[in-house]
Homo-oligomer: A and B are copies of this chain.
Amino acid sequence: MNNFTFYNPVKIIFGKGEIKAVAKEIPADARVMMTYGGGSIKKNKVYDQVMDALKGHKVIEFSGIEPNPRYETLMKAVELARAEQIDFLLAVGGGSVIDGTKLIAAAIPFQGEEPWDILSKKTPVTHAVPFGVVLTLPATGSEMNSGSVITREETKEKFSFGSPFTFPKFSILDPETCYTLPPRQLSNGVVDAFTHVLEQYLTYPVNAPLQDRMAESILITLKEEGPKVLANPTDYDAMANFMWSATMALNGVIRVGVPTDWATHMIGHELTALHGIDHARTLAIVLPSLLRYKKETKREKLLQYGERVWGVTAGSEEERIEATVQATVNFFESLDIRTKLKDYDVDQETIREIVRRFEQRGVKNLGERADIQVSDVEQILTMSL
């Protein structure tokens, strides 16, 4: 096992009817800015529940945070928050709203030239406005970590940042808020969470059997509960199990002491930035090709994954690895997530563009062994055409 540091101070309040807990988690005298996306929280009554809980607080609203939240939009929120002397943020939504709120929280007190430096130049965040979360979409895990991914529309760049100051103070996870999610968002969520686990698990063994088994526990639970959620989004237990699995997939617990990959995310982000393809779908496109391309260096974990998660035990190692990758593809496709670039009308031209962008930015040494170069990215994407 590798040495590690683990720290995650997010308070999770989980279960039906818990949105009312907002009232006691936000200081009574706080000036609150509630951030959200489109109007879905008004349709499903989450908005009303949150507003009820916030009665007595000074509340300013900022709506319109997009999927793949845009820097340009978030800077408007920062301007409003500064003008209104906001001292607590409440993100109500999914990963995009939460990620966006993390940047707003860090940007409000930011002293440097422009907050984009936090993303582009990795300028360290030294303080942030405290914020809480009411999660309405299980997928990204952002509700229980300090990371954030932001898109700049102007330059079509999608970058990430994280800091010890951008953990939510609390996150409320009420599975009932997810009953009205469209199937597309649910299947995206399952694939997103599943890929988060694989990015931290499908690398190489370092004799960390507990981390391996915990990762496999999440994968098996997603494999079993994901289809149930899609078949019946008002199955409380299935939704609760999916929701908790998505949180556990990226709260740091399974990452301790093991190598991590993240190349699939790095490549996938480009597809979203250039074509607006849903984040989870970009992962479903890139991952299978990456696994096939890197099957030699991921051999032991691919075999273990196949056996423990998909029950693949027959055939030669080559055959088992291919059966395992194909089982993963079949799972994604069974959730109505297409896994080829052509399914999204993306062709060779986009691959050339991504290669050009990676070369320009000096992106190299991706993956758990830092051995994926730009030319490998080109081959991986070509396998996904």
Name the prevailing secondary structure of the A interface residues: mixed
**A interface residue count range (under 10 / 10 to 19 / 20 to 34 / 35 or more):** 35 or more
Interchain nearest-CB distance for A241 vs B (Å):
6
Complex Cα spacing A14 to B253, Å: 13
Per-residue CB contact flags for chain A residues 1-43 toward chain B (1 = under 8 Å, else 0) read 1111111111111111110000000000000000000000000
Bound-state CA distance A293–B13 (Å) is 35
Give the Cβ gap from A378 to chain B, nearest Cβ, in Å. 37
Known: A217-B214, A256-B14, A257-B14. A207 touches B237 (CB 8 A): yes
Of the residues B12, B216, B220, contact of A6 by C-beta under 8 Å: B12
Contact between B1 and A5 (Cβ–Cβ < 8 Å)?
no
* Total copies of the chain: 2
Which residues on the B side are within 8 Å of A217 (C-beta)? Answer: 210, 213-214, 216-217
- Which residues on B sit within 8 Å (CB–CB) of A2? 15
Which B residue's beta carbon lies closest to that of A252?
Answer: B12
Task: Name the interface residues of A245-280: CB closer than 8 Å to any CB of B.
Answer: 245, 248, 253, 256-257
Bound together, the chains give a CA A221 to CA B207 distance in angstroms of: 11
Contact A244 B220 (CB under 8 A): no
* Contact residues of A between 182 and 220, Cβ < 8 Å to B: 207-210, 213-214, 216-218, 220
| Alpha-carbon distance A237/B214, docked complex (angstroms) | 17
What residues of B have a CB within 8 angstroms of the CB of A12 in the complex? 4-7, 256
A224: interface (CB < 8 Å): yes
Q: Is A284 an interface position by the 8 A CB rule?
A: no
Q: A337 — which chain B residues lie within 8 A by C-beta?
A: none
CA of A256 to CA of B12 in the docked complex: distance in angstroms? 10
Could you list which residues of chain A lie within 8 angstroms of chain B, going by C-beta atoms?
1-18, 207-210, 213-214, 216-218, 220-221, 224-225, 237, 240-241, 244-245, 248, 253, 256-257
